Amino acid sequence: MSKRDEVVELASSNPISLLSGWGIRSEHAYLAAVVSLGLVFITWLVSRAKKDDRGRSEHWGLFLGEWVASLLALGVALKLEEKD
């Protein structure tokens, strides 16, 4: 079986297995979540300092903040994949 066939088989069965096969570990997802949380905080600080419209800073915070939970969930899924 060629490498391409293996990737197609992994992708069709389980996307978490595919990510794990690419070398992405749970620590990578957790780190991305922490970086995303830091970006939310920095964006909030910059928006406050610039006296931007409060709605705009809240929208950016919500947009970036949604990534934190998604990346943490991805980290948990990858951790479970690593145990198998």
Residue 55 pLDDT > 70, yes or no? no
Quote the pLDDT of residue 44: 77
Q: Is the dihedral of CA 5, 6, 9, 11 positive or negative?
A: negative
Q: Which domain holds residue 35?
A: 24-83
Number of domains within the chain: 1
Q: Identify the H or E element spanning 44.
A: helix 26-50
Report, as an integer, the average pLDDT of 43-69: 76
Residue 33 lies in a domain: yes
Q: Which residues contact 58 (CB under 8 A, 6 or more apart)?
A: none
Is pTM beyond 0.85? Reply is no
Establish if 76 belongs to a structural domain.
Answer: yes
Determine, yes or no, domain membership for 10: no
Q: Is residue 6 part of a domain?
A: no
Q: What three-state secondary structure class fits 67?
A: helix
The answer as to whether 4 is a domain residue is no
For residue 55, being part of any structural domain is answered with yes
- pLDDT tens across 5-41, in order? 776 665 567 888 888 888 999 999 999 999 999 988 8
If one compares 53 and 20, the residue with the highest pLDDT of the two is: 20
Q: What is the pLDDT of residue 34?
A: 96
Q: Is residue 46 part of a domain?
A: yes
Average pLDDT, the chain: 83
Average pLDDT over residues 36-47: 84
Residue 5 within any structural domain of the chain? no
